[in-house]
Amino acid sequence: MRELQAAAITDAVSRLAKEACYFLPKDVVDKFDSALESEESETGRDILRQLRENVSIADAEEVPLCQDTGFTVVFMEIGQDVHVTGGDLNEAVNEGVKRGYEEGYLRKSMVTQPFGERKNTGDNTPAIIHSSIVPGEQVKITLLPKGGGAENMSALAMLKPSQGRQGVVDFVLNTISNAGPNACPPLIIGVGVGGSFDKVTYLAKKAILRDVGSRNPEPHLAELEDELERRANDLGIGPMGMGGRTTVMDVFVEEYPTHIAALPVGVNIQCHSARHKEVVL
Partner 1 sequence: MSEKRITTPLTEEAIADLHSGDRVLISGKILTGRDAAHKRLVELVEKGEPLPVALGGQIIYFVGPSPAKPGQVIGSAGPTTSGRMDSYSPVLLELGLKGMIGKGYRNQEVRDALIKHKAVYFGAIGGAAALIARRISSAKVIAYEDLGAEAIRELEVEDFPAVVVNDIYGGDAYQEGRAKFERKEATGT
Give me the residues that bind partner 1 (CB under 8 A), please.
Answer: 40-43, 46-47, 50-51, 53-54, 57-58, 61, 63-69, 105-107, 120, 147-149, 152, 166, 169-171, 173-174, 177, 180-182, 184, 231-232, 234-238, 240-245, 271-273
Confirm if 254 and 191 have CB atoms less than 8 A apart.
yes
Does 184 help bind ligand SF4 (rule: CB under 6 A)? Answer: yes
When asked if residue 273 is in the footprint of ligand SF4 (CB under 6 A), the reply is yes
DSSP bridge pairs for 74: 129, 143
Q: Coil, strand, or helix at residue 119? A: coil
Cβ distance to partner 1 smaller for residue 5 or 182: 182
According to DSSP, residue 114 is labeled: T
Count residues near ligand SF4 (CB under 6 A): 10
Task: Return the residue of 28, 35, 51, 66 that touches ligand SF4, per CB under 6 A.
Answer: 66
> What three-state secondary structure class fits 73?
strand
Alpha carbon of 41 to those of 13, 23, 195, 236, 240: distances in Å?
40, 27, 40, 10, 12
Strands 248-258 and 2-5, how do they pair?
Answer: unpaired
Residues 182, 153 contacting (CB under 8 angstroms): yes
Give the other-Cβ count within 10 Å of 253's Cβ. Answer: 26
Site string for ligand SF4, 95-124 (x = CB under 6 A): ------------------------------
Q: Which does 192 bind (CB under 5 to 8 A by kind): ligand SF4, partner 1, none?
A: none
Rounded to a whole number of angstroms, the minimum distance from the CB of residue 246 to ligand SF4 is 15
Q: Is the dihedral of CA 25, 31, 36, 42 positive or negative?
A: negative
What residue is closest to ligand SF4 based on CB? Answer: 147
For residues 105 and 22, what is the distance between their CA atoms, to the nearest angstrom?
11
By beta-carbon proximity to partner 1, the closer residue of 132 and 177 is: 177
Burial bucket for residue 264 (CB in 10 Å: 0-12, 13-18, 19+): buried
Site for ligand SF4 in 126-165 (CB under 6 A): 147-150
Residue 242 near which of partner 1, ligand SF4, none (CB within 5-8 Å, type-dependent): partner 1
Judged by CB under 6 A, does residue 24 bind ligand SF4? no
User: Nearest approach, Cβ of 41 to partner 1 (angstroms)?
Assistant: 6
Q: List residues near ligand SF4 by CB under 6 A.
A: 66, 68, 147-150, 183-184, 271, 273
